[in-house]
Structure 1
């Protein structure tokens, strides 16, 4: 019976070893399954994150296109407003010149009324001197521009026939 016990103890030992191998195999399978599940979950999470990033990218690209369109519209409107500003500044300058001329015309009327009026020519520059005299600067210029006063410019020059002899 000693051989039987030693045979049975070998079988028992073999069974224990086999049982341990099975347990380890089952444990390894479970561990591999959990590892595959973790990898699958990580892969799913990363895929989901990629999809979210793509969606955010599309939204950002749409926003950029919209902002670019708005920027171009504002830039065009700004350009129009700048052109209008230049035009309005020119009109303002012209109106200020007209007002200045009107004011100088009024001051001329004031000058003629102040200094007796009838003997002062419309082109007289009215200067306030300490003695309140209107100084007439138009006389020389007016004589040159008046066609009736150009008679001495149109006078013919007579040459004697003897002056061309050699």
Structure 2
């Protein structure tokens, strides 16, 4: 009967070890489920962060497009103003040349008509009306059509 208690003891050990194995398997399954849930939650948070970052980038791109549009508009306005001023300057240069030629001609006429007395009027006296000719001259008209770019 010495063998009988051994068998009984062994069967209790087997039953205990089987129940410990079941507990260990259940513990491992519980840990796997916890890890899986934790991984799912981490992936969900990661997707939310990624979406938030994508939304921020889209908002930044939209803002930068708006700024770019404003800068292009401002640059076009400044360019138009520059071209207008450049055209006006070109017209004024042509008028200066024409007025200088007229003044030279008037000085030649005065020199020729006065004989030995030499008068040499400068532009300031001509434009100030010092000769009285400024009001009698036809205005010099120049337009942007004179210039071809």
Which has the higher Rg, Structure 1 or Structure 2? 1
Deviation for aligned residue 1:27: 1.0
Residue 49 of structure 2 corresponds to residue 52 of structure 1: yes
Deviation for aligned residue 1:113: 4.3
Residue 38 of structure 2 corresponds to residue 28 of structure 1: no
Deviation for aligned residue 1:34: 1.2
Q: Measure, in 2, the Cα distance between the counterparts of 1:112 and 1:11.
A: 148
2:73 is paired with a residue whose SS is helix
Q: Measure, in 2, the Cα distance between the counterparts of 1:43 and 1:118.
A: 109
2:39 is paired with a residue whose SS is helix
Residue correspondence of structure 1 range 1-166 to structure 2 within 5 A: 2=1, 5-114=2-111, 116-117=112-113
Q: Measure, in 2, the Cα distance between the counterparts of 1:111 and 1:24.
A: 127
Map Cα deviations across residues 15-74 of structure 1 (whole Å, 9 max, x no partner). 111111111111111111111111111111111111011111111111111111111122
Map Cα deviations across residues 55-107 of structure 1 (whole Å, 9 max, x no partner). 11111111111111111122122222222122111111111111111222222
Residue of structure 2 in register with 1:129 after alignment: none
Give structure 1 stretches of 5+ with no counterpart: 120-166
Map Cα deviations across residues 107-158 of structure 1 (whole Å, 9 max, x no partner). 22333345x2469xxxxxxxxxxxxxxxxxxxxxxxxxxxxxxxxxxxxxxx
Q: Measure, in 2, the Cα distance between the counterparts of 1:38 and 1:15.
A: 34
Are the structure 2 counterparts of residues 117 and 49 from structure 1 closer, same or farther at C-alpha, using a change threshold of 3 Å?
farther
